[in-house]
Chain A
Amino acid sequence: MTEPLGTLAELRRALDAGAVSSAELVDRSLARAEAVEPRLHALLATREERARAEAAEADERRARGGVRSPLDGIPIALKDNLAQAGEKVGCASKILQGYESPFDATAVARLREAGAVVVARTNMDEFAMGSSTENSAYGTSRNPWNPERSPGGSSGGSAVAVAAGIVPVALGSDTGGSIRQPAAFTGVVGMKPTYGRVSRFGLVAFASSLDQIGPFAHTAADCASVLDVISGHDPRDSTSLPEPATRCLAALSGDLSGLVIGLPSEYYASEGVDPEVLARVSEAVAELEAGGARTREVSLPHTQFAVATYYLIATAEASSNLARFDGVRYGRRAAGVRGLTEMYERSRSEGFGAEVKRRILLGTFVLSAGYYDAYYRKAQQVRTLLRRDFDEALSGCDVLITPTTPETAFRIGEKASDPLTMYLSDIFTVSANLAGLPGLSIPCGFANQMPVGLQVLGRPLEDATPLRVADAFQRRTDFHLQRPPDPR
């Protein structure tokens, strides 16, 4: 079987040494995809001709000594909710069937300007609503560590594409854990930057106040390289932060001395956390302490309300954000409709899957007259309290460390029939979105033969700090070097 591609840093070195060309990398990426796709289904589309042409351009640039960035000539993959000019953007939904974007998302444009070559679009839960990719209209992705298990979601396809070696890096989006949870499940690094750090322009919105684009890679350093390209103010996104982006790669010193790690007691005491997962996290924390970090217990007293708060705000925003998919201007319109109401009803009934409908209904209810104060407004108030919890906790430490998920990857189908259990699997990740914090997940060992994710959260705008911690951890450990077996 075709070999998996290496890390971004390895491929960069090989390109710079002339050991490989970008054209070869793209070919290897596409070949690897072809080999593993039948078993894993990470991708919704590949971009063969255009990717090869762009790779050839990258090779010419390199020959002329005009390499644009560490990503120049590197094959990458995009989650299907990121706009790329001239490509289909489907959000793994039938309702967007046939829709092609006329513009690039800002993050995509920046990657392409840096020379990265988009080879594929990755599978996801429809409109990023889900934690397993089981809500994709185009089939479920599978975990390369055990194809009977879920890769997590909603950015499951991007996680698998990296874990299975199709691409060294991929972009996903994280609204309540949609990057970090699949990263944890598939044994890769996934990072959700500070809210507003990466422009949302061109990211099809699920919940605007929570959504954030971020990278998947094998290493924290590779994530930093991607982040350095895609971060920074964008005048086309009003919620984009004006502050200049710090250079993350340059901040990876490997030094942990003086670092204070906060351990939120509510996370460690919560019910239903797999003791094996907790054991791996404790071992990882001990490793960081051995590297010079200190730990202290902190409290996030409103943690118990986070999941409820998240599902009120996220569904409210989603119910409005998804109103534009109405069959009028683009995408799929139901056939043979008579009249406007029927066009709306049938186009949306036929175009959206069950989970999307469930969330639109929930969100519509939450915003309705008579319920707004009890649900939406109350949720916003709790959100403020959660933010204060984090402000307080992070005033005495540099990062917070928790398990990324209570359990390792669940079996496909295990939670699909029980949305509430599925929602609770987001318990450790949603708070970072509500508070707008940067957070990442790195592999920190195995439990039940499946990867365990360690979540590192930082202060807003200090995206480099969790990356520095993760990088230092990876310098001391080899979990990130372990690869899943080739699927059979």
Chain B
Amino acid sequence: MSSDAHPHYEAVIGLEVHVHLRTRAKLFCSCAVSYGDGPNHHTCPVCLALPGALPVLNGAAVEHAIRTGLATHCEVHSRSIFARKNYFYPDLPKGYQISQYEKPLATGGWIEIEVDGQEARRIGITRIHMEEDAGKSIHDGAATETHVDLNRTSVPLIEVVSEPEIRSPEEAGAYLRSLRAILRYIESSDADLEKGQFRCDANVSLRPQGSTEFGTRTEIKNVNSFRFVEDAIRAEIDRQAAILDDGGAISQATLGYDAEADRLFVMRLKENADDYRYFPDPDLIPLVVDEERIEEIRATLPELPDQKRLRFESEYGLSTQEARLLSASRALAEFFEAAARAHGTAKSVANWMLRDLLAALREREIEIEEAAIAPEALARLIEMVDRGRVTAKSARDLVAELTEQGGDPEALVRERGLEAVSDVGLLESVADAVIGANPDVARAYAQGDKKVVNFLMGQVMKKTQGKADPGRVREILARKLEE
């Protein structure tokens, strides 16, 4: 696939994603993993690298890393090695980061991605390794001082490295969304981008269409939203294409992305490869997880997004697109299935969710977990529509209201006097009055202009404050006009 804007080049994109694992404690000490507390609140001799302190591996982090490896079809190795990545920085207390280098925990997996209008395809995962996060350097406005907050130091991370198989900004976005969905499904990470729990670096290079060699690549660091990743990659493809078109050469560099200006800036040029002097950490023994344990963990994995989508298609007769939308998050999928169970007709629930509930969530910029509506409430509301007890129009407004405030749809309908007018006598008298007040319209109908009935319907609905069942009104009007 070629880059749309530059058809003579093929973009080669690889993504490195750093994910905070969902553990209570840090990777090598018992300090709490916590966001937003006062600086250096969650530190101890180990994560402060006091003289004599030693790391002890948090088993819960290992379990999450294994879950991620299994959920992304990697081979999880029963023996992996922690290594030290040596470099000096004030927010790196030990002067090295404990990571995995030569023998990572998991290798050789894939995840499936789909970009609108294209066939789904697999993107390879080169490796997943465990490591600890660094702290934060805070450069104050004063510009003469740097402060260091070590709360984040040693928060457990995995780095998920993709194969350079991604070919467009849209695919990069799809990959990230897919990976994030998996992580959240298996509850190994909240993957909240705003909290820095899911951070992406993108390696980008171009090569002539049809070439199999790799061009010189640049690395875009730490972009904090999916849209910005796509924008940044798009901007970088444009930048590289312009240089190559002019006969220039790409210099290897680390780039930052200014989202506001939609512009990349050079953080540093990489003339020589960094030498981190990796070596096995002698304070830690090899991480050994026996096959049996790996299989036990595999057995606890929930149904993953792809599996769920396929099942939704076959079990509920949803289209691929519908199934994909409803399986986008585990909570949404669970909401759907609970509502479908309560209601009985999954297809109908799917329609209501896709049309009304998702819109209500989008409008409020919330996730289903944060919405007040219960799946049973949605089911009951749809059932009321099915029985003609409330009109579809009223019901749609109620979906929004339930999303916001929750509650019982029956009570709400009663409270608001939204019961559909099903009193035929009343509807007939309103219809008579409307026809009587619009003799010219009735004449037009008689002369064959059948669509004027819509105007009369609108009048009836108006007089009944929208509570009349439109089907029944149409039926009554037609009968009276034919008479």
Contacts and interface: CB of A to CB of B under 8 A. Distances in A.
Physical interaction between A and B? yes
Interface of A: 81-83, 89, 91, 96, 99, 101-103, 105, 200-205, 207-209, 235-239, 316-317, 319-320, 322-326, 328-330, 340, 344, 364, 367-369, 372, 376
The 9 closest A-B pairs by CB, nearest first: A323-B95, A208-B282, A209-B282, A367-B277, A202-B52, A204-B51, A324-B49, A83-B52, A369-B275
B62 to A, nearest CB: 13
B51 A83 contact: yes
27 contacts: A81-B52, A89-B51, A89-B52, A91-B51, A101-B50, A101-B51, A102-B45, A201-B53, A201-B54, A238-B55, A238-B283, A238-B284, A239-B285, A319-B277, A320-B84, A320-B95, A324-B49, A324-B51, A324-B93, A324-B94, A326-B90, A328-B148, A329-B93, A344-B88, A367-B86, A367-B279, A376-B279
B48 A329 contact: yes
Contact of A203 (B45, B52, B273, B275): B52
A364 B277 contact: yes
Contacts of B445: none
A324 B95 contact: yes
A238 B93 contact: no
A328 B92 CA distance: 10
Contacts of A320: 84, 86, 95-96, 277, 279
Contacts of A367: 86, 277-279
A101 B44 CA distance: 12
A323 B283 contact: no
A372 B275 CA distance: 11
B41 to A, nearest CB: 15
Contacts of B278: 367
Contacts, number: 100
Nearest to B29: A236
Contacts of B146: 340
A201 B285 contact: no
A92 to B, nearest CB: 13
A103 B279 contact: no
B57 interface: yes
A368 B51 contact: no
Interface residues of B, number: 30
B56 interface: yes
Interface string B273-293: 101011100111100000000
A461 B262 CA distance: 63
Given A89-B52, A200-B54, A238-B55, A323 B282 contact: no
A142 to B, nearest CB: 27
Interface centre among B55, B273, B283, B284 (most CB of A within 10 A): B283
A201 B282 contact: no
Interface string B51-73: 11111110000000000000000
A237 B55 CA distance: 7
Given A82-B52, A235-B56, 8 more contacts: A89-B52, A103-B50, A201-B52, A209-B282, A317-B282, A320-B84, A326-B90, A340-B146
B278 to A, nearest CB: 8
A89 B50 CA distance: 11
Contacts of B51: 81, 83, 89, 91, 96, 99, 101, 204, 324-325
B460 to A, nearest CB: 77
A237 B94 contact: no
Contacts of A319: 86, 277
Contact of A238 (B57, B96, B275, B277): B57
Interface string B83-107: 0101010100111100000000000
A322 B57 CA distance: 21
Contacts of B275: 368-369
A105 B51 CA distance: 10
A91 to B, nearest CB: 7
B52 A204 contact: yes
B148 to A, nearest CB: 7
Contacts of A96: 51
Contacts of A364: 277
Contacts of A325: 51
B185 to A, nearest CB: 32
A283 B10 CA distance: 80
Contacts of B84: 320
